[in-house]
Structure 1
Amino acid sequence: MTADLNASGEPPHGPGADAAGQGGDATGPAAESLRGAARELVDIGVVIRGAAVHATAALTDGALLQALPHAPSPGWRTQRALLRAITNGRGLGWAPAGSRSASVAAALGALAGAESLAVRVLATSLRLRVEAVALDHPELTGDPMLSRLIEAAAADRDLEAVRALRALLGDRGAVRVLSQLAPVFGEVLALRALLDENPLNDATAWLIATGTGYATADPVTGMSNRAVAVLDRGEGAARRVEPAEAESARLATKGSLLGFLGNLSVIGTTGRVLIQSVEGPDGVVRHVVQAPGMRAGRPDHDSPQDLLGAFSSAVLAASPYSRALAKAVADYGLPEGAEVALIGHSAGGAAVMNLAQDPGFCARHTVTHAIAVGAPVDFKRPADPDTWVASVTNQHDIVPTLDGQGAGGCFDLHPDWYVVDYSDATHLFPLCHSIDRYIANIATDLPEARDHIDGRLAPYRGPVVRSQVYRLFDHPPEPEGFPFLTVPTHAVPGPGGRVELPIRCHDGGALTAYFAADPAVAAALLEGTGLGPAVRVAGRALVAVHAAWNRRTSVGVHRELHVGVVVPGPWRARGPLGWYDLVRGADRRRSGVFLAGSVVDTAVVAALAPRLWGGEPSLLPLEFGLARGVARITAGAEARGDGERLLVLGGRLGPGLPVSERDLVGYARAAGTTLRSCVRARGRALLHPAPRLRLTVEPGSAHPLARLLRELGLDGARPLLCLSAAARRTLRDAAVPVPTT
């Protein structure tokens, strides 16, 4: 695609590429002639409609009606001539227009199948646009099934169009049909809307056909776009997040068009955006906002990059996506007047253009560039006239046509923009819409466009000196873990520096199994602690084996396993009903578990253990599995010959009753003092009254915990009941001393 140079010597439209991916003119002389004729017909149609508006206004003019009694004969002739002009098929057709009552009359006529001359002229213009696209895309007319559908839709033959569409869908599937129709999708829909009997979509069809604005309603049903976009509400919010290590390694370290687009691919459609600072060749640090496209998943979730967010970004001048982008830029801390380039793909392209047309944002920052790739941005205008705008679209990509303008457009909407509208061999949607496909096209098929845009981005071609990823939200999110994990913290010494307590676990899982054990061994463990005797069941001591996998915590991922005797607690009358106290919250519970042995799998937690619960745990590998009613807990190395295995607790959990996850209270003796520790928990759990698990102690293990389990008679034992939680949150602070003796 070529164009004359403008006053600045820059081609306002970028070079295209044909289906083979070779650079060159994407539009031949014949197609340009058809588009020129279509453009002239649009002008004629607008003039005709203007005449209809004037004729309708004259017909309903109160002064003319009041003059009728004074000159009845010429007055009635005038009225009759005006009425015939806007209702006669040989004149302007059925063409009342201009006032509310005229619009109602026009709608009633449309329901009856009446048409105006202006509509027929615009329909001819749209057909010429379809023919122009067909010259560039011969597959549209060379395919009999596709040609039949286009002709039926253009001629308002609904039944035939439905049959043709059904045949196409059955033969090729929805994705392929949509991809093949993409170059003329907007024109076919506008034709259908102009010629059908539905008056609700006429205004949208007129906007598409005349290029005077974005489609304000669905061209098929006439449902207002704003009625859908209003569902996407929110003031927008942004929170800093850290990318994964693999993502950080792939982010561009130097500024370039392909580097910035590659960053969009790295970040992906995950509800995140990227802001980078680049030191240009002149030593000035400038900034680049990079916004990916729509996030996959539910149509409406907490991210403005959802389906509703993409829709509102396309059809509205501001949206939660653009407002969230502005919040991210504000948090990034750009100085007043800093130079900013905005680059986006798909919904991100529409969002950055909304940001560029925000006068408030442009008053705070200097938006030097706005680059939209695969985005519907034809009717967006930057607030700063000095902002350089580039738009890159694939003609088989449906998304850029959502504003009503596609490959068949005959209007030069942006003589000062750099527009690249091309076609390549990848006709399948959504593949041709993906950022990776656009990157491949720009890198290999569009060298002239790539070099030109890179040339304009020259001030941003330098080393990246700062990068920050943000997650965007429709509304400011609650702090993670709020309110349960939103607590005061204090720092204590740790093996690698200061560690914050309490330990906050945002995501974890746990299994607690209760066994009947030898009461004599349990009594020996409790002797002199002031906590005994043990809670008993049928004359046996109740022993708990608790395992947890803390997947995301303030001290990192870690697993732990504890074995202890269930006790009624200090200063309490001993009795057989003491174990019922276990269902209370930690703040009201006296009973707990006297810890007889522990295993952890990280050095940090092992070093903190004396402070957390008062014990000296073993540092061994731990494995925790809990899924689909099956549990498997392994302490020590697996039987691979590279270490000692301590125990395995595994098997089916059996049916479970839903309950709330329970707090844990532990007691331990350290330096002659009893310490009480608490793990407060929140989440849903299952109580398994008949578990089929079995605890197996490694026969050859000489570990103290293995010997203890054998002495308690738990080797090979099955638990009385289990409590499992696949997901939970926990708080664990330092243990406190309590006098028990």
Structure 2
Amino acid sequence: MNDGHAHPDGAADAEPLRAAARVFVEVATAVQEASAHATAALTDSRTLRASVRAPLPWYQAERALAHALTNGRGLGYALTGGRLGGLAARLGGLLGQESLAVLLLATSLRLRIAAVALHHPELHADAHLRRLITAVSEDRDLAALRAMRTLLKDRGAVRALSDLAPVFGEVLALKALLDENPLNDRTAWLIATGTRYADADPVLGISNGFVAALDRGQGAARRTEPAPGEAVRLRDRGSLLDFLANIGTLGPTGRVLIQSVTGPDGVERHVVQAPGMRMGRPDTDSPQDLLGAFSSSVLASSPFSRALVKAVDDYGIPQGGELALVGHSAGGSAIMNLVQDPGFCARYTVTHAVAVGSPVDFKRPADPRTWVASVTNQHDIIPTLDGQGAGTCFDLHPDWYVVDYFDPTHLFPACHSIEHYCANLTRDLPEAREHIDDRLSPYRGQVTRSRIYRLYDDPPRPDGYPFLSVPTRREEGLEMPIRCRAGSALSAFFTADPRAAAALVDEHGLGRCVRLGGRALVVVHVGANHDTSAGPYREVMLGVVVHDPWGARPLRVWPDLARSAQFRRAGVCLLASAVDNRDLAGRAGSLWGYRPTFTDVSVAVAGGGVDLRVEPALTLRGRLGPALGVVSGDLVGFARDGRAAYRSVIRSARRARVHPAPTVRLSVGTPADPLTRLAGELGLDGRRALFCTSVPVHQTLRDAGVPIQTT
């Protein structure tokens, strides 16, 4: 099967140059092989011993052979093959000795650059590009370095790479062939001869396999729901542009889409749609990060492709079910890894694979019946990362449908975006789009099912593991304990009139006030719980710090307050609270023994400060100052609802920082609810916090209170 190739207009003009380039590659390869055989014979110990005993004609032949191999006027410094030949070749490379084979390959690369320049005249018309390419071709390292620095300074890295993209692989291979670094010679040969993917970088010669091996993981996929607004943008019909539009909708977010489509013949088939690299840190828990994109390109199997397999298996496609794979950028490399996986192709019938903007030249389908299309923009540098770009003189895949084009938009990464490829296929490449759509005709129909998966390098731990991995139950209409996966907390401590504080505590019958310097210790606790099993909520509690309700321990209360909740006897007598979650406000009395006010609460505990406002008239603002030491981040509270008393705990996974010199102040307006009224009775209006504790990022468990008997 040969579907032909779609190239830029006038590609025939460059074909004679590419044909000549192929001839030079063939001759260079033949010279290299002959040199390897000759070197092996010359360095063989038995041959050397025989030459000593041989008559003069034999000796003269050996000498002529050695002269031809090592003299630049002959075959050049062509020693290669075997341990001694390889060592001699490396030493010669360090000394700048070049073989005939290297010079032939360099000529081939120059011809390819000339062929590309027929369609990209800016390569020669642009003074900076011309200076760089000429310096590399003439093996003038210092001049090439200066030219590259000038190009980067004039246009920046992105624009420079965009302009150089059509001949990026050829320029790198030329540099590697002609420099004095023997470590990158093999890479140059692989790129120049189109043998296989380069197994080391062409600049320094660092192994790509070593870098790719850093991306480890068995791969995992978890079902997830579309983000708000995404579901309505997912296409409900099957076509090339629909599948690519879906990839654009998902974006580089570490997710993939699988859809089922009922074709014109009534048969249900399935389509995997894989976006490219996820933005962010180079190495995350996603196989679609930078490291994952690299390993997907250079390895036959990677966490990205293994995660895709898990997603397809979970989706429930029947054994032998027909499957099309569509991918962009690193997603194209990953789906081609599935295409070349015999085990995957034995379970499913992979009928089509479409890679857009992807380095896939050295991927080979395991099933010869799989139809493959590759769409690449010549100014998109990503597809050239496998060493084969616009200048290649090899027809690596005569049975693929290859769309290799360019448009006026040269700037990378704009020309790499899926939106740009969709626009090109819509406006500039109608014949290519129609051809691919025609081949995808079995998948042109109504989408009957869609499922989004988030991919991982390894199976993700349960949410909040291990702290939040606890048994749960339903109580008062809520799932208990309430598990906060992300939030922050602050406790601001004030001193207050001991008589006023004692009177309030005595009303509850919950022990004696803890005193500091003769004054009662009062706390305003602020919790900003962004992601919990009961929904997001913000709560402010006002309480008086009290001793163990069964007996005061004045000397031991301070270390006791720093203990974890399971060992703490002292706590906070909760007097009043405000919360912005209506369900919690209505159920708190029966759960924890106090009844909060439902009102608007805004709070931020970040950047070394706190900014709290409780409607209508309470604020807490200021800087926390430096932190000295840590204590338990747990909060132990005592409260009484009617005749029943409760001990409740908010258990924190993190320890709290202690801020001994904050500038935090509490302002209390006209009493309008129990919180502002009691704060006013305690004389806290305008008071500066004595000290604070904070947990800027926390996870918490909050169970129902335990009834206790204190009398």
- Select 1:675's aligned residue among 639, 642, 646: 646
Contact kept? 2:563, 2:631, Cα under 8 Å: no
- 1:664 correspondence with 2:642: no
TM-superposed CA distance for 1:65, in Å, is 5.0
Q: Secondary structure at the match of 2:645?
A: strand
**1:452 and 2:431 equivalent?**
no
C-alpha change, 1:331 and 1:608, in structure 2 (3 Å) is farther
1:730 paired with 2:709, answer: no
Q: CA deviation at 1:535?
A: 1.7
- Give how far 1:683 is off: 2.3
SS at match of 2:355: strand
Q: Aligned runs of 1:578-727 on 2, under 5 Å?
A: 578=557, 580-636=559-615, 645-699=616-670, 701-727=671-697
Matched residues in 2 for 1:63 and 1:655: separation? 79
TM-score (norm 1): 0.91
The answer for the alignment partner of 2:396 in structure 1 is 413
Distance in 2, Cα, partners of 1:698 & 1:316: 66
Residue 210 of structure 1 corresponds to which residue in structure 2? 193
Question: 105, 109, 134: which one pairs with 1:126?
Answer: 109
Pairing partner for 1:396 from 369, 379, 399: 379
Q: Distance in 2 between matches of 1:651 and 1:130?
A: 64
Residue by residue over 1:312-351, the C-alpha shift from the partner in whole angstroms, topping out at 9 and shown as x without a partner, is 2211111222222222323333332222222222222111
Q: CA offset at residue 471 of structure 1?
A: 2.9
Distance 1:439 1:658 in 2: 57
Distance 2:647 2:638 in 1: 5
Does the alignment pair 1:163 with 2:146?
yes
Residue correspondence of structure 1 range 169-568 to structure 2 within 5 A: 169-494=152-477, 499-527=478-506, 529-568=508-547
Contact 2:342 2:366 in 1 (8 A): yes
> 1:481: how far off?
1.6
Q: Which amino acid aligns with 1:627?
A: A
How many angstroms does 1:260 deviate by? Answer: 2.1
- CA distance in 2 between counterparts of 1:656 and 1:346 reads 46
Q: CA deviation at 1:63?
A: 6.2
Partner of 1:103: 86
More moved, 140-149 vs 247-256: 247-256
Does the residue aligned with 2:677 lie in a helix, a strand or coil?
helix
Structure 1 residue 485: Cα displacement? 0.9
Give the aligned residue type for 2:669: E
Match of 1:419, SS state, is: strand
Contact 2:494 2:688 in 1 (8 A): yes
Distance in 2 (alpha carbons) for counterparts of 1:65 and 1:168: 53
- 1:425-446 Cα shifts (integer Å, max 9, x gaps): 1111222222222222222221
Instruction: Please list the CA deviations of residues 91-136 of structure 1 after superposition, one character each: whole Å capped at 9, or x if unmatched.
Output: 4332233323222222222222222222222221111111100001
Q: What is the DSSP-based 3-state SS (H/G/I as helix, E as strand, rest coil) of the residue aligned with 2:258?
A: strand
The amino acid of 2:42's aligned partner reads: L
| Alpha carbons of structure 1 residues 290 and 531: separation in structure 2 relative to 1, 3 Å | same
Pick closer, same or farther for the CA change 1:610–1:333 going to 2, 3 Å: farther
Q: Distance in 2 between matches of 1:89 and 1:79?
A: 17
Per-residue CA deviation, residues 41-84 of structure 1 (Å, 9 max, x unaligned), is 22222222233233334434566556557753343244234334
- Answer whether contact 2:373 2:400 (CA < 8 A) is retained: yes
Unaligned runs of 5+ in 1: 1-6, 17-24, 637-644
Aligned-partner Cα distance in 2 for 1:333–1:152: 57
Return the TM-score normalized by structure 2: 0.94
1:634 and 1:649 in contact (8 A); partners too: yes
- Conserved 8 A contact 2:617-2:676: yes
Give the direction of change, closer, same or farther, for the CA distance of 1:523–1:44 in structure 2 (3 Å limit): same
Secondary structure in 2 matching 1:136: coil
1:269-324, Cα deviation, whole Å (9 max, x unpaired)? 23333333333333433332222222233332332222222222211111222222
In structure 2, the residue corresponding to 1:164 is in which secondary structure? helix
Distance in 1 (CA, whole Å) between partners of 2:661 and 2:54 is 102
**What's the secondary structure of 2:118's corresponding residue?**
helix
Distance 1:170 1:525, change over 3 A: closer
* CA distance, structure 2, for counterparts of residue 463 and residue 690 of structure 1: 66
Tell me the equivalent position of 1:12: 4
Partner of 2:654: helix, strand, or coil? strand
User: What do the CA deviations read for 1:554-594 (whole angstroms, capped 9, x no partner)?
Assistant: 11111112122222132223547535422111111121122
Give % identity: 62
Which piece of structure 1 moves more, 176-185 or 78-87? 78-87
Q: CA deviation at 1:391?
A: 0.9
Q: CA RMSD in A?
A: 2.3
> Post-superposition shift, 1:144?
2.3
Pair 1:65–1:627, CA change in 2 (3 A) = closer
Change beyond 3 A, Cα 1:652–1:528: closer
